[in-house]
Amino acid sequence: MRPAFQIIERCRKLAAHTEEPGFITRTFLSDAMRGVHADVGTWMQHAGMTVSIDAVGNIRGYYAGVTPDAPRLIIGSHLDTVPRAGAFDGILGVVLGVELVELLIGRRFRFAIEVVGFSEEEGVRFGVPFIGSRALMGDIDDALGALVAEPIRAYGLDPSKIADARVIGPTIGYLEFHIEQGPVLESLKLSLGVVTAIAGQSRLDVRFEGHANHAGTTPMHLRRDALAGASEWISAVEREALAGRDLVATVGRIEARPGAGNVIAESAVMSLDVRHTEDAVRTGVVVRLLESAKQIATRRGLRVTSELRLDQPAAPLDAALTEVLAEAVRAGGHSDYRMPSGAGHDAMIMARQMPAAMLFLRSPGGISHHPDESVLAQDVAAALETGRHFLEQLERTHG
């Protein structure tokens, strides 16, 4: 258990590097990231890795294989945080990767290992997520490059070298350890979950329009109440999601106008967020929900319009590499429970160009993006053991 405790201790240590005293807030290339780079760089060196920081601020530790031309396994996650975050979202995957290499005590495989601490995943500073992993995929376009050039310079890096961050040469794939950030594994009393796919997302704004009028003098049957129509539709959204498997749908925001207690609402604008690992299921649900909004509106004499804000396809993880991971989980004596990820992760970006696999660790209380976020040492130990079996299995198959 000692390595597991060291991982947790290191995550807590990195939490001290923050933009906001008393909380963990660390955005892309903020000054707080310098301390993280110093600590992680020291640990990487200690584990026998060659350390560099690429032009978008990803810290990269390279642990050579037996031959210089050995293909590379990338193990990574992110080092930035949401405002007032916990200590483990992203960070754990990086620190765990470093520990995995440290435990090799100099032993070499027929593949190299690169541990990457991505500089940006959460999208807090510029509203653009995954800048770190996108740079590894060579996916920073001119507009994004211009947006991040100044902060890159301010950090002491060279924005003209962004293209050099791209992964070149043969790769075996990408492995990411991450906390689940949800309550499923805890509810099943499981330490680990093998991620099958990262769910696609649809985000829309839906607007009901009726007529504002006096709340005291307008009889119920003569109203065109936009908020009452919206509330009927929100219930329909919940019913639809409950009827689906691994389907989630959320109305997280509503704005009613004019917004007075004694005035019937003229308009109600809502967000809709639908996620599923199969794009056809997700888009089908959105079509049905918009149809039901229309029916509700017609019956109530309202008008309904919608605007699509995001249509992000699902990212299936690699079936073969996921099987290697599942076998590694079983080799450690754990159940290889398969589950989708409802949240986006760097693995989704990496999966575009190489086989990717992902392992979830139980989130106590299902808590994440919150100072109370935590992990259990036994689950960290289970993940570490899984990682060791995973490396052994790759050595057998990639020899």
Question: Residues interacting with Zn ion, by CB under 5 A?
Answer: 89-90
Quick one: 94 or 285, whose CB is closer to Zn ion? 94
Q: Kindly state the smallest distance separating residue 154's Cβ from Zn ion, in Å.
A: 25
Shortest CA distance to 120 belongs to which of 152, 96, 150?
152
- Minimum Å gap between C-beta 78 and Zn ion is 6
| Residue number, nearest CB to Zn ion | 90
- How far apart are the C-alpha atoms of 25 and 232, rounded to whole Å? 38
Tell me if the bond preceding 258 is cis, omega within 30° of 0.
Answer: yes
Residue type at 259? G
What are the structure tokens assigned to 352, written together?
A: 């575009």
State the nearest-atom distance from the C-beta of 68 to Zn ion, in Å.
33
Going through 123-199 in order, the beta strands assigned E by DSSP cover: 171-179, 192-198
Residue number with CB closer to Zn ion (7 or 285) = 7
3-state SS class at 1: coil
What are the tokens at 380?
């960290």
Distance of alpha carbon 213 from alpha carbon 220, whole angstroms: 11
Distance CA 187, CA 185 (A): 5
Question: Among residues 78 and 207, whose Cβ is nearest to Zn ion?
Answer: 78
Nearer to Zn ion, 25 or 267 (CB): 25
Asked if 269 contacts 207 with a C-beta cutoff of 8 angstroms, the reply is yes
Beta carbon of residue 36, minimum distance to Zn ion (angstroms, whole number): 15
The least CB distance from residue 75 to Zn ion, in Å, is 15
For the CB of residue 145, give the shortest distance to Zn ion in the complex, in Å: 24
Residue pair 308/365 in contact (Cβ under 8 Å)? The answer is no
Rounded least distance, CB 358 to Zn ion, Å: 11
Q: How far is the CB of 368 from Zn ion (least distance, A)?
A: 8
Cβ at position 272, least distance to Zn ion in Å: 24
Q: What is the dihedral sign for C-alpha 26, 30, 31, 34?
A: positive
DSSP letters for 56-106: T--EEEEE--SSTT--EEEEEEE----TT--S-TTHHHHHHHHHHHHTTTT
Tracing tokens 């541990």 back to the chain, one arrives at 115
Asked if 233 and 292 touch (Cβ cutoff 8 Å), the reply is: yes
Residue 90 vs 332, nearer CB to Zn ion: 90
Closest distance between Zn ion and the C-beta of residue 321, in Å?
20
Residues 6 or more apart whose CB falls under 8 angstroms from that of 139 comprise 349, 352
Helix (H) or strand (E) holding 290: helix 279-300
Q: How many CA atoms lie within 13 A of 346 on its CB side?
A: 34
* Residues 299 and 248: beta-carbon distance below 8 Å: no
